[in-house]
Amino acid sequence: MTDAENEIELQDQQFKQIENEQKMFPLVADRLPFDLVILDYDAETSPDYYNKAKELANTYGEIRQIRGDGNCFYRAVFVGILEVCMKNEEKAKQFLETCLGWNDRLLKLGFPDWTTNDFCEVFTDWFKKVVNKETTSEKIFDDLNDDSQSNYLIIFMRLITSGYLKEHSEDYAPFIDDGRSLADYCSTEIEAMWKDADHLGISGLVLATGYNIRIEYMDRTAAPNGGWHYDIPADCNETPEISLLYRPGHYDIIYHK
C-alpha cells in the first residue's frame, strides 16, 4: 500500500470515528439549563467565551443541543418552528399551508417529480398530525430522534431552502464563488445532506419558512454585522420567536427566560 493510500485509509478511519462519536449524541436533546454552557469554558483559558456565556445566561434560561452532523442549522430551525406551532394552533395551520404550497413551487422550478412529491408528502403528512393534534409531544420528539424519519423531514427543509434561492436567483447568484452556477451550488451545498449551512443557506431557509430567527454568537467576529447577535432577516421589526446559539461550526436552540 502506498503512502497516499495509507493516508486515505487513515482519513477514512478518522471520519468513521467522528461519525460514530456523533451518533452517540441525540439528534435533538432535551432542554437543559443554560448555565451548563458556562461550564463549557474556563474563565482563565477562555475568558471571552466564559464571559459571553455568563452574559447570555441573564437572558436565556435553557438550551436544547442539536447533533453536530452538518444538519444542525436546518434541524435547529425546524425544531424551533415546531415548538412554536405546538403552542399556537393558528401558526401551525399557517406553516402547514406554506409547506403544502412548496410542492408545486419546487416542481415549477424543475425539481424531479417523484422524489419531490415523496419528500413533500412525507413532511406534510407528518406535520398534519401535529396540526390536528393526532400525535403526542413524546411521539414527536421520538420521531425527531429517529434517523430515518428525522432525516426525511430535514431533506424537505433543505429542498425548500434550495427552492427559495432558485426563485430569487438574481439576488443570490452574485454571492456564489468559484464561478459555480446557482444550480450547482444548491445541488452540492444546500440539497446535499450533512453539509453545513452558510449565509445563503441561512437566509434561504428563513425566508422559505417565513420564520425570523435570532442568532447569538459566542464569537462576535463570526457575526455578519460584527455584533453579538444577528436577526434574520435583518430588517425584521419584531424580536424573533426562535433563537439559536452559534459556536464555531455549530448551532443549538436557546430559550428566553
Query: Of residues 72, 99, 120, 186, which has the active-site annotation?
Result: 72
> Can you give the pLDDT of all 257 residues of the chain as single tens digits?
565 556 556 555 544 554 555 678 999 999 999 999 999 999 999 999 999 999 999 999 999 999 999 999 999 999 999 999 999 999 999 999 999 999 999 999 999 999 999 999 999 999 999 999 999 999 999 999 999 999 999 999 999 999 999 999 999 999 998 889 999 999 999 999 999 999 999 999 999 999 999 999 988 777 777 678 899 998 888 889 999 999 999 999 999 99
Which of these is catalytic: 85, 143, 250, 252?
Answer: 250
Number of structural domains in the chain: 1
Note whether residue 73 is domain-resident: yes
Residue 163 lies in a domain: yes
133 occurs within a structural domain? yes
pTM: 0.92
CATH number reported for the structural domain that contains residue 82 in this entry: 1.20.1300.20
Spot the catalytic one: 69, 143, 231, 252.
Answer: 69
Among this protein's residues, is 168 annotated catalytic?
no
Active site (annotated) includes residue 178: no
Asked whether residue 121 is domain-assigned, the answer is: yes
Domain for residue 159, yes or no? yes
Residue 187 domain flag = yes
Annotated active-site residue 85? The verdict is no
Q: Are strands 28-33 and 60-66 parallel, antiparallel or unpaired?
A: antiparallel
DSSP string over the chain: --HHHHHHHHHHHHHHHHHHHHHTS-SEEEEEETHHHHTTS-TTTSHHHHHHHHHHTTTEEEEEEE--SS-HHHHHHHHHHHHHHHH-HHHHHHHHHHHHHHHHHHHHTT--HHHHHHHHHHHHHHHHHHHTT-S-HHHHHHHHTSHHHHHHHHHHHHHHHHHHHHHTHHHHGGG--TT--HHHHIIIIISSTT----HHHHHHHHHHHT--EEEEESSGGGSTTSSSEEEESTT-SS--SEEEEEETTEEEEEEE-
